[in-house]
Structure 1
Amino acid sequence: MQEIEFVQGEVCVTTHRDKDDLLSAGLGLAGLKGALSPFADPQHPTVQELRRRAIQAGWKGIADLGPLGGYGTVYGGVSAVPGREYQAFARNPGARAPHRVLVQVPDNFDKTHRCLVVTASSGSRGIYGAMALAGAWGLPHGCAVAYTDKGAGSGYFDFSDDSGVALDGQRAKRGTALLEFEPATQQGQGIAVKHAHSGDNPEANWGWHVLQAAQFGLAMLSRAFPDQAPFTAQNTKIIATGLSNGGGAVLQAAGLDDTHLLAGVVALEPNVHTSGHGRALYDYMSEAALWLPCALVDERFAATPFARDAHGAAHAAWVTRCASLHAQGLLKATTLDAQAKEAYEHLCGTGWTDQAMAAAALSTALDLWRVIGAAYACAYLRRGADNMPCGYHYEALVDGKPGVADDATRASWWADASGIPPGNGVGLFGGTDSSADPQLTGITGLRSLWTDDDADSRALHTSVQALSARLPRKDLPMWVLHGADDGLLPTAFTSEPYVAWLRAEGRTPLYWKVPHAQHFDAFLALPGFGDRHLPLLPYGYVALDRLWAHLFQGQPWPAELSAPAAGTARGEGALRKSMLGL
């Protein structure tokens, strides 16, 4: 039996067959598309109900399951895959908080082509946050799939009743069970979340999280099939894949893989930072929070989805931001049109493209820049829930105000929450004042953490430097795919400088900059938004298919491969296969 010394506590083993499979928890594609799976007793959901809902939320957060999106007809699918799950808490050396690892072993595991897919959740999602990519591709191929939440996840700790989340997803009091996350302080107020408040700067260890998940996967395969053990990287091909933060995590893992665990890597729209190349997420995120509202007032974005209100006018708050930037001396122009144009030109000068800004209207309208900035600044500065930068804090949201969560709301967090509030009954508070632009004070503070040179700024920069990806080995097959229209992680700041750096250092990654694709496949179901774009997932599935053919069928791995020339975006009708250019 292979040792798994990094595992804390017991490994939980569950069986999922009949109407409770690995890929959809028995919901099937129709159920995944439907309303959230109910809890019979919302205050006390069962372990099975929590898992089903967490899988459903994982799918809904990543894939376009809308009626026009083509999932299950044009590409992808959701078959019933019976099997077993092995789940545990793992810990990196020196880490304060554990991370979850989960391995799904299908009953139809292909013992002839021994394959393990390893992945990390996108965003800050929980353990099922990469199901629509890694699970949807790997399980039907007869691969086992190993997941990690990479030190993030939705195991929120509530100081009001001193409770967190146990391994099975249910709430438990501090001291009564091993919890996904419990703050170091014994006393506090509001809600603490692992990504922001663990004190570990987990992003710096995402690569190690992925490699530990791969090691856990091999060990669990040996448990599942003792007659075939041991499972090792020498007799089992390990494919690493992920998207967004998960994509960045597998690229980090590729640079740390000194023992040649990984046989190939497919990264979609990765949040990857290359020291000395591109721009760090915190840099362009805090810039976007400050400048994009005004830039999007520019007339060139008048027909851009989410860039105007329901009446076709510029959002009032964004107009106010232009005035605020002028009052701060950041804009010289005195008229609104000229201020918006000046803000737009400022962002062009720092590397933003028209495509990225147009798609970023969605993130701006959803207030994602401020939300992400508050959490990441806290993680980088290793602050607790009671000491977040710029006056921010998380509390339960009751009738629009800070309060105490009820049992039903609290019980649903692990299954439903995204890993970074606000949402699901938790609010982001603070960082505001009583001015006409109330969020400006907090956003300015977040930006100053990057641009200033005080102790906090230096600490934040040190943490960001620790995120830099390292060079992978020369013989590792790698494929990076990124939407040309990505407005959250623009290609100019992420994939393009990373791929250029690899090539300058003698590596030969494949790179597809996919026309018409943006960052959020799940938002393509929104009226007007999906008309302009294509999903990225089908291209990821194709890349994984080709990597499989290389690893198991001996097909040559190309030195380069041109991106598909997709003809048009989806338009108002349903997606057709011809639109993908594959």
Structure 2
Amino acid sequence: MRVTAKVIGAALAAPVMLAASPVLAADPPAFIKGDVRITEFDGVTDDLLTAGLGAAGLQSGTPPALSDPPTAAELRRLAIYNNYRALVDVTTGGGYGTLYGPDVSAAGVPGEGPGMIAGREYLAFAGPASGHVNVSLLVQVPDIFDPDAPCIVTGPSSGSRGVYGAIGTSGEWGLKNGCAVAYTDKGTGTGAHNLGDDTVDLITGERVTADEAGKDSIFTAGINDRKQADYDDETPHRFAFKHAHSENNPEADWGKNVLQSIRFAFWALNEAHPDADIRPGNTVVIASSVSNGGGSSVLAAEQDKQGLIDGVAVSEPNVNPEPGGDFAIKQGEGPPFFDHSKSLYDYTTLLNLYQACANLDNPAAPFNFLGLTAIQQNRCASLAELGLLTSGTLAGQAAEAQEIINDFGILEEQNIVQPSHYWVFVPQAIAVTYANAYGQFSVLERLCGYSFGATTGNSLIPDLGNPDDGVPVPLALAAENALFATSNGIPPTSGVNLINDRAVEGSRETRHSTSPSTGRQDHNIDGNLCLRDLATGVDTVTGEKLRGRQQARHKQILNGIREIRASGDLNGKPAIFVTGRSDAILPPNHTSRAYFGLNRLQEGTDSELRYIEVLNAQHLDAFNQFPGFDNRFIPLHHYFIQALDIMFAHLKDGLPLPPSQVVRTVPRGGPDGGAPDIVEAVNLPAIQQNPAVTDEIRFEGNQVLIPE
């Protein structure tokens, strides 16, 4: 074991290799494989939270530049810049710099300088270090950490992002409050293996050949040289991505990865403060983060048998509750809904199939690119031709598609949001990546005819009449070298697109492809049907049970989903879930609401889980800077910060947790793109210790009761 240390001013210094035993009070945990890289940041030239950019640099629309090839320090800086901006609205009118941001103090006081935080980073892989299952762990220890009042906050990455994926959410809160932050990429991250030139990412983001990296790559596809060469000959310029193609179902270990990150944090803290005795018994540990990261922390709390975690505070967690809970969910005076707790893969493949047509039922939705009506009309026509819609008019088909989506338990409040997500490939990307991950399929499988690679033309707003668009090509070298810092880990991302290898034209980017079964450019309905079949186990068109290899694939995916289900048992730990009612990625009836009900069945009146549902809030706060979102939605991040503040006060000072409740926010209003600046006193009522009875969320008579 070696430890890599960098002196203050890390961006300018070369690593110095130190023997491990003389400088460490104890060896790192046994699951740490390879080197531990220790880097100090002075808070002036570089820092933990903003990578030297400060609050203004993170807000700037000009990203930090990269050399050719980029250095590790440059890639770290760009990764922090992109990951921060991906999760929060960085406009002043939306609350950046006034309600949150590096220059807002832990006490909520704006204008506290650039927000640069000095401290030390510990970066390592958890193994086994086989070269294709490495999990990145990172601990940030701010200089303001108080060893006499130690605290740790977890920051597992949202989505499939790299190890800095939670820097702007639980990372920022933890650093401002003097806590160590325990990050992990959860075994997904931005590991991208170019199967053509055989290059991969190192833990610090530099790209080298797979042979050079060996077991030190973030991800190397587990295929032999001959099969890789054959694949590249048949379908050149393709990539394998870690989340999709690790053949490990990484989500099954997300809770374990969070627990590992906490144990690594305890080791790092005792290395940084060798005269202190920092341990679970005297340290406040909050499992936190948002989306996939939040779901990971919930699973960690369920799996925590060593008393590492004291409390949970998460936002919009991706939880897949065990199905079959004997309870209903009832919103307002609506009917009881029993068919909750569907898996992410189930409801996403339904959206993937029907949303393009349903977009036409909501022309006022922001980012609903009605200039691309041909694809949407073609999808409606294909669904009707296949017997999946019955209406004889386009308007009727669109309304019918929307009704199918909402009848599946996806709230009407998300309808205005979903078109934007469709046009930026959210359901398409999730459906392809998670099918591969749950089924543990090799990149060679090309499941449902999909592959990943760069293509010609514009994939976001395609010229459908141009036959030269959508053709696979090599990814530009500069883009490839920046993947660690720019990719979200789940294609389409950073110039790597979804390719339909079964298109009539030959391999084409999915929007430019013509479906063999329909002869239309309908956004690859054949691939979407294949993915949906694998979710249900039946042929979506004929209703017949799948046979042969498709049935085997379906069973593999179901087994993978079973591995990631949440039990609902938090072992009595206090927890706060914050979720936006308009969440169009993780619908509440199948995630937070369903988990709340399952937890009540598991823990009864002893449950310490509080569920906060926020009106006029959706999943991607970063979208709130755009026209049509700015005037409709408030930052859910504001309530995530409140949840962390409340949990910290509860664990440190014994202050009570609030009841579960609906928070009735007030949108900023105004025209699309012209919303007035947000005002906390006007738009953002606080989570209440004594909410009105009409706002309380309750579990009574085996029903989760959600106020309208």
Shorter-chain-normalised TM-score: which range?
over 0.9
Q: Counterpart in 2 of 1:292? A: 355
Contact 2:100 2:638 in 1 (8 A): yes
Which amino acid in the other structure matches residue 492 of structure 2? P
Contact 1:162 1:173 in 2 (8 A): yes
Q: Counterpart in 2 of 1:232? A: 279
Percent pairwise identity: 37
TM-fit CA distance, 1:384: 1.9
243-252 or 1-10, which deviates more? 1-10
Q: Counterpart in 1 of 2:554? A: 457
Mapped to 1, the partners of 2:224 and 2:130 lie a distance apart of: 20
TM-fit CA distance, 1:422: 1.6
Change (3 A) 1:366 1:473: closer
User: 5+ residue gaps in structure 2?
Assistant: 1-25, 104-114, 233-237, 324-339, 458-469, 505-513, 538-545, 687-708
For residues 343-362 of structure 1, what are the alpha-carbon distances to aligned partners after superposition, in whole Å with 9 as ceiling and x for unaligned? 22222321122112221111
- Among 483, 487, 490, the residue aligned to 1:420: 490
TM-fit CA distance, 1:38: 3.5
Pairing 1:303–2:364 present: yes
TM-fit CA distance, 1:36: 4.4
Give 1:464-543 correspondences, 5 Å limit.
464-505=561-602, 506=604, 507-543=607-643
Mapped to 1, the partners of 2:125 and 2:32 lie a distance apart of: 6
Aligned residues: 574
Pairing 1:25–2:55 present: no
Mapped to 2, the partners of 1:474 and 1:271 lie a distance apart of: 19
Which amino acid in the other structure matches residue 440 of structure 2? R
Change (3 A) 1:209 1:94: farther
Pairing 1:577–2:602 present: no
Mapped to 1, the partners of 2:35 and 2:572 lie a distance apart of: 37
TM-fit CA distance, 1:110: 1.8
Pairing 1:264–2:311 present: yes
Q: Counterpart in 2 of 1:445? A: 530
Q: Counterpart in 1 of 2:407? A: 349
Contact 1:121 1:148 in 2 (8 A): yes
Q: Counterpart in 1 of 2:248? A: 200
Q: Counterpart in 2 of 1:145? A: 181
- Among 195, 199, 204, the residue aligned to 1:163: 199
Which amino acid in the other structure matches residue 496 of structure 1? R
| SS of alignment partner, residue 662 of structure 2 | coil
Mapped to 1, the partners of 2:628 and 2:221 lie a distance apart of: 42
- Among 63, 79, 87, the residue aligned to 1:54: 79
Contact 1:92 1:208 in 2 (8 A): no
TM-fit CA distance, 1:95: 10
Change (3 A) 1:200 1:524: same
Mapped to 2, the partners of 1:82 and 1:3 lie a distance apart of: 23
TM-fit CA distance, 1:509: 0.7
Mapped to 1, the partners of 2:129 and 2:73 lie a distance apart of: 32
Mapped to 2, the partners of 1:64 and 1:289 lie a distance apart of: 26
Mapped to 1, the partners of 2:644 and 2:651 lie a distance apart of: 10
Give 1:16-415 correspondences, 5 Å limit.
16-17=41-42, 18-41=44-67, 43-78=68-103, 79-91=115-127, 97-177=133-213, 178-187=216-225, 188=228, 189=232, 190-229=238-277, 231-276=278-323, 277-298=340-361, 301-307=362-368, 309=370, 315-397=373-455, 400-415=470-485
| Structure 1 residue runs of 4 or more that deviate by more than 6 Å after TM superposition | 92-95
TM-fit CA distance, 1:459: 1.2
Mapped to 1, the partners of 2:314 and 2:95 lie a distance apart of: 22
TM-fit CA distance, 1:395: 1.9
For residues 527-553 of structure 1, what are the alpha-carbon distances to aligned partners after superposition, in whole Å with 9 as ceiling and x for unaligned? 122211111111010111111111112
Mapped to 2, the partners of 1:92 and 1:71 lie a distance apart of: 40
Change (3 A) 1:463 1:474: closer
Mapped to 1, the partners of 2:398 and 2:406 lie a distance apart of: 12
Contact 1:134 1:242 in 2 (8 A): yes
- Among 554, 567, 580, the residue aligned to 2:666: 567
Change (3 A) 1:216 1:510: same
Contact 1:385 1:394 in 2 (8 A): no
Which amino acid in the other structure matches residue 205 of structure 2? G
**TM-score normalised by L of structure 1:** 0.95
For residues 66-94 of structure 1, what are the alpha-carbon distances to aligned partners after superposition, in whole Å with 9 as ceiling and x for unaligned? 24211111334341110110000112699
Mapped to 2, the partners of 1:255 and 1:271 lie a distance apart of: 14
Mapped to 1, the partners of 2:130 and 2:563 lie a distance apart of: 15
Mapped to 2, the partners of 1:97 and 1:59 lie a distance apart of: 26
Structure 1 or 2, whichever has the larger Rg, is 2
Contact 1:432 1:441 in 2 (8 A): no
Answer 1 or 2: higher relative contact order, Cα 8 Å, separation at least 6.
1
| SS of alignment partner, residue 242 of structure 1 | strand
Contact 1:256 1:470 in 2 (8 A): no
| SS of alignment partner, residue 240 of structure 1 | strand
